[in-house]
Amino acid sequence: MQHVSPVREPLVTGGKTYHDVTQDVCRQVEAAPNIRWMAALSVALLLLGVFFYSVYRTLWYGIGEWGLNKTIGWAWDITNFVWWVGIGHAGTLISAVLLLFRQKWRTSINRAAEAMTIFAVICAAMFPVLHMGRPWLAYWVFPLQNTFGSLWVNFNSPLLWDVFAISTYFTVSLVFWYTGLVPDFATIRDRAKGPIAKVAYSLLSMGWKGSAKHWSRYETVSLILAGVSTPLVLSVHTIVSMDFATSVVPGWHTTIFPPYFVAGAIFSGFAMVLTLMLITRVVFKLEDYITIEHIALMNKIMMVTGSIVGVAYITEFFIAWYSQVEYESYAFINRATGPYWWAYAAMMTCNVITPQLVWFRKVRYSIPLTFILSIIVNIGMWFERFVIIVTSLHRDYLPSSWAMFSPTIIDVGIYVGTIGLFFTLFLLFAKFFPVINMAEVKSVLKYTVDNGPTYTGRDPHHAPQPVTTHGVPASAPVNYDKHD
Amino acid sequence: MTKRFALGIFEDEDVLLHAVENVREAGVKIYEVFTPFPIHGIDDALGIERSRLPIAAFFFGLTGLSFALWMQIYMLGFDWPMIIGGKPHIALPAFIPVTFELTVLFCCHGMVITFYAISKLYPRWRTPVLDVRSTDDKFVMAIEVNENTDMNKLTQILRENGASEVNQKEMSKF
C-alpha cells in the first residue's frame, strides 16, 4: 500500500507529476526567449566585448599592458585564475560527492552547478594562457619532443601539475555533464515540433531511447565517474595550492594550504551556486524544484566550509608567531597592518564573519539575505586570493625591491570580461539545455511516498495494484496525520 | 527488416516492475523496456546481467597509471636527464600528481567511450522511438510479435498486470 513517509520532507513541492516535471523544465527550452533573458544576454555580451578588447590589447602590446612589475610578477591574473577554479569546485562537489553520500536533494541543482563548473574552468584557463605572453605556443606545456623548440617539460614543477590537473578536471567534468544531459536531450527531442530542433536534439541525444539496459549502464557510469571525480576535485585545488606552497616565499610556504584551499574553493563555489540558483529559479519559475530547503542546505555547507576557512586564517597567524621565524611573522603582520590592510580586512569580514550569520534560521531561510550573503562571500574569496598572492610578494627578501601593485584598466577589463564570458555561456546553456536534470528529479519525486517493504524480487505478496496509484500526484504533500 | 511490437503502456514504475515479473513468468519474452528514468530493481526483474564497465574502468585506470609513470621516468630519467633543484633524475614523489591525474583521465574517458560504444550511442539525424511518451512520463514494455502471436491473450496479460494501454507498432530498422 502506498502511504506517505512521516519523516521525509518532500524534495519537490507543488504535487508535481512526471509530466509536470517535463513541462516545467522544457518550457523555456521550447518557448521563444523572454525579454528578461534577452536583456541579461545583452549585458553579458557587452562584458564579453570588454573581454575581447582587453585580450586584443594584451596580445598586441604584450603583458606590459598589465600592472605587473618585477617584484609582483603574479597579481590579478593568478588571483582570478584561483577564484574561477575555486568556483568551479562546487559543481563537482554537488554532482559527485553528494551522489556518493546519497544526498537526493542534489538532483534539482546538479545540472546547473556542473554547467557552472565547466564555464568557470574555461574562464580560469584564460588567465594562465594569456599570462604566457605568446598563447599561440600554449601547446608547449604538453610533453612534446624538443624538436618543437624545448626540452621535455619539467615534471617536478607544480605549474606543470596544474596543466595536467586542470585539463583532466575540465574534460572529465565535461563528459560527466554531457552523459547526464543525454537522456534529457532525448526528452526534448521526442517533444520537438520544428525540424531544426528535431535534428539538433536528435544529434545531441546520441540516439538515447531509455531502455532498461542503457539505464543500468548509465547508472554504473555515473557512480564510477562520481567516485573518481571526488578525489579528482580535491586533487585539483590541492595542486593549485602547491603552486604557492612548494615555493619558499614567506606567507606561501605552508603545509596547511591544500586543505585550506579546498575548503575555500567549496565555500566560494557554493556562494556562486546560490547566486545563480536564486536568479534561475525566479527567471524560469522553478521555485517548486529549487525550494527554500535547497537554499537552506546550501547555506549550511557554505557555513561549514566558511568556518574551516576561518580556522585556517587563524591557524596561519598562530603558526607565524609560534614558529618564531621572523620573516614568516613579518609577512603576516604586514598582511594585517601593512599597506594592504584594507584587502585583509575585507577578506576577514566577508569570509569569517558573514558565514556565521547562517547559524540563524531566519538568515538561512531568507532569499534576499542569502543572495546578499552569497555576493559578499564571492567578493571575500576574491580578496582572499589577492591577499595571499600580492601581500606575500610585494615585500619579499630585499627591502630595496619592495613595491606596490596597482591594476591597469586592462587588468580590470580582462577580469570583468571573464564574468561576461561566464554569463554568456551560462545564459545560452539555460536557454537551450534543460537546466534541471529531469530524469533524476523524476526518480526522486516519490521520495516522500513509502511503498512498504523494499522490493526483493519474486515475492507474490506484492501483487500489482494499479488502482491505488492512478491519479495520485507522485509528490504528494506530506500529511502528518494520515500515515499509518 | 520490419519488426512488429506490442507495446504495454504503464503509468507507474512500481506497477511496471511487478508487470515485468509476471509477464516473464507467463512465458512472454520481453524485447525491451523503455522508461523515463532509471528504475531500481528492474535489472533483476528483466534478468539484465550486471555491467562489467567497472572492470573496464579499472583497467583503463591501470593503463593511465603505467603510461604516466613510464612517460615521466623515460623522459626525465633516461631520454634527457637533467638536475632540477638538486633532486634525483627520477624523483618519484614529484611524479605522483601527474600520475594520479593521468590515471583519472584514462579511467574516465576510457569508460565513457566504452559505454557509448557498447550501447551503440552516437549522434544520428533521426531517432525513431516506439512511443514518444517513454521519455516523458510513460513506462513502455515492448514485446516483439509476429503473425502467430495471440494478440488477444497478450493484451489480456498486459491489461491484467496494470497496463493502461496496449498498442501495436511496426518499425523498420530498430
Q: What CATH number is given to the structural domain containing A182?
A: 1.20.1630.10
- State the smallest CA–CA distance between residue A273 and chain B in angstroms: 25
Identify all chain A residues contacting B139, using CB atoms and an 8 Å cutoff.
Answer: none
Answer yes or no: do A418 and A474 share one domain. Answer: no
**A221 contact B CB<8A:** yes
The answer on A342 and A475 residing in a single domain is no
Q: Give A401-433 as a DSSP string.
A: G-------HHHHHHHHHHHHHHHHHHHHHHHHS
User: In this structure, is residue B138 part of a structural domain?
Assistant: yes
Q: Which of A161, A165, A203 sits opposite B123 (nearest CB)?
A: A203
> Which residue in A16, A18, A170 has the most chain B C-beta atoms within 10 A of its own C-beta, making it the best mutation to test that interface?
A18
Q: How far apart are CA B148 and CA B127, in angstroms?
A: 29
Task: Tell if the CB–CB gap between B109 and A175 is shorter than 8 Å.
Answer: yes
If asked whether residues A106 and A5 sit together in one domain, one would say no
CB-CB: which of B38, B87, B101 is closest to A156?
B87
Q: Examine the domain organization and report whether A354 and A275 are in the same domain.
A: yes
- Asked whether residue B11 falls in the same domain as residue B37, the answer is yes
CB contact (8 A) between residue A212 and residue B122:
no
Cβ of B125 under 8 Å from any chain A Cβ?
yes
Establish if B77 belongs to a structural domain: yes
CB B36 to CB A18 under 8 A? yes
Whole-angstrom distance, CA of residue A443 vs CA of residue A430: 22
Q: Is B56 on the interface with A (CB under 8 A)?
A: no
For chain A, how many structural domains are there in total?
2
CB contact under 8 A, B98 and A225: no
Verify that A83 and A178 share a domain, yes or no.
Answer: yes
State whether A64 and A173 are in the same domain: yes
CB contact under 8 A, A212 and B11: no
Let me know whether B70 and B110 are in one domain.
yes
CB distance A202–B19 less than 8 Å? no
Separation between Cα atoms, residue A83 and residue B59, nearest integer Å: 35
Closest CA to A404 of A68, A3, A83, A167: A68
Q: Are both B60 and B112 inside the same structural domain?
A: yes
**SS3 call for A235:** helix
Query: Which residue, B82, B99, B118, sits at the end of a domain?
Result: B118
Do residue A151 and residue B80 have CB atoms under 8 angstroms apart?
A: yes
Are residues A287 and A436 in contact, defined by beta-carbon separation less than 8 angstroms? Answer: no
DSSP for A339-392 reads: TTHHHHHHHHIIIIIGGGGGGSHHHHT-HHHHHHHHHHHHHHHHHHHHIIIIIH
Q: Looking at the partner chain, which of B102, B116, B132 has a beta carbon nearest the beta carbon of A190? A: B132
Decide if B136 touches A, using CB distance below 8 A: yes
> What single letter denotes the amino acid at residue B7?
L
Do residue A467 and residue A432 come from a single domain?
Answer: no
Domain count, chain B: 2
Which of A208, A217, A440 comes nearest B53 by C-beta?
A: A217
Give the pLDDT of residue A181.
Answer: 93
Q: What is the CATH number of the domain that holds B38?
A: 3.30.70
- Using the 8-state DSSP alphabet, how is residue A148 labeled? G
B171 neighbors B30 (Cβ within 8 angstroms): no
Name the minimum distance, in Å, from the CA of A29 to any CA of chain B. 15
Same domain, A281 and A136: yes
Asked, for residue B145, whether it belongs to a domain, the answer is yes
B169 has a chain A CB within 8 A of its CB: no
Do A411 and A300 fall into the same domain?
yes
Domain that holds residue B61: 53-118
Distance (Å, whole) CA B84 – CA B94: 11
Asked whether residue B124 is domain-assigned, the answer is no
Residues of chain A positioned with their CB less than 8 A from the CB of B109: 171-172, 175
> Can you tell me the distance from the alpha carbon of A137 to that of A129, in angstroms, rounded to the nearest whole number?
9
Q: Are A425 and A40 in contact (CB under 8 A)?
A: no
Residues A364 and A457 in one domain: no
Tell how many helices (H) and how many strands (E) occur in chain B.
5, 4
Residues 6+ apart with CB under 8 A from A251: A328, A331, A332, A335, A388, A391, A392
- Give the separation between CA A358 and CA A355, rounded to whole angstroms: 6
- Identify whether B123 is part of a domain: no
pLDDT tens per residue, range A24-60: 888 888 888 888 889 999 999 999 999 999 999 999 9
Does the residue B35 lie in any domain?
yes
Q: E strands along A179-288, which residues?
A: none
Write out the DSSP string of B55-116. HHHHHHHHHHHHHHHHHHHIIIIIIS----TT--SS-HHHHHHHHHHHHHHHHHHHHHHHHH
ipTM of the complex: 0.93
User: Is position B18 within any domain?
Assistant: yes
* Helical ranges in A284-325 per DSSP H: 292-322
Q: Are residues B113 and B79 in the same domain?
A: yes
Asked if residue A423 and residue A474 are part of one domain, the reply reads no
Give me the domain span that covers residue A463.
1-17+445-484
B77 and B112 in a single domain? The answer is: yes
> A175 to chain B: which residues are within 8 Å by CB?
108-109, 112
Chain A residues with CB under 8 Å of B115 CB are: 179, 217-218, 221
A231/B100 touch (CB, cutoff 8 Å), yes or no:
yes
Q: Are residues B114 and B146 in the same domain?
A: no
Residues B27 and B13 in one domain: yes
Whether A214 and B54 lie within 8 Å, measured CB to CB: no
Return the ∠ at Cα A115 (arms to A296 and A356), rounded to 5°.
30
Q: What are phi and psi of B171, to 5 degrees?
A: -135, 130
Chain A from 16 to 35: CB within 8 A of any B CB:
17-19, 22
| Cβ pair B136:A183 closer than 8 A | no
Question: Tens digit of pLDDT per residue, chain A (484 long)?
Answer: 355 566 667 777 777 888 888 888 888 888 888 888 899 999 999 999 999 999 999 999 988 999 998 889 888 999 999 999 999 988 888 888 888 888 888 888 889 999 999 999 999 999 999 998 888 888 888 888 766 655 788 898 999 999 999 999 999 999 999 999 999 999 999 888 888 888 999 999 998 988 889 999 999 999 999 999 999 999 999 999 999 999 888 889 888 999 999 999 999 999 999 999 998 888 888 888 888 888 999 999 999 999 999 999 999 999 999 989 888 899 999 999 989 999 999 999 999 999 999 999 999 999 999 999 999 999 999 999 999 999 989 988 888 989 999 999 999 999 999 999 999 999 999 989 999 988 888 888 877 655 444 444 444 444 444 444 444 444 444 444 444 3
Q: Looking at the domain assignment, is residue B140 inside a domain?
A: yes
B72 to chain A: closest CA residue: A155
Q: Measured between CB atoms, does A216 come within 8 Å of chain B?
A: yes
Chain A residues with CB-CB distance to B164 below 8 A: 466
Instruction: Mark whether B111 and B164 lie in a shared domain.
Output: no
